[in-house]
Amino acid sequence: MTTKGLIGIKALDPDTVIDELEGKDEVVFVAKVDSLHDVVAFVEHENMKALSKFVFFTIRAIPGVKNTETTIMLDE
């Protein structure tokens, strides 16, 4: 089973966040948006724990990230 997450990111500098995430294997899609969030990323991981760790230790560690919001989708 794969766990997918749609991550909404509020950031001081959205371009820096996009540059940091573009090369990551877990990131399927990343884009700058003009809505509630500044950046959205579609991320895949083997389980929910690994996805949570990626959000908290990789995405939130990027300088300028103010907040993240995750929507989880499970594949069977």
Rounded Cα distance, 13 and 40, in Å: 13
Exposed / middle / buried, residue 64 (Cβ in 10 Å: 0-12, 13-18, 19+): middle
Q: Does the domain made of 3-74 have the CATH classification 3.20.20.70? A: no
Decide if pLDDT at 63 tops 60.
Answer: yes
Task: List the domain boundaries for the chain.
Answer: 3-74
Residues 6+ apart with CB under 8 A from 14: 32, 38, 39
What stretches of 1-61 adopt beta strand conformation (E)? 3-11, 27-32, 39-45
Report pLDDT for 1. 67
28-48 pLDDT, tens digit each? 999 999 988 999 999 999 888
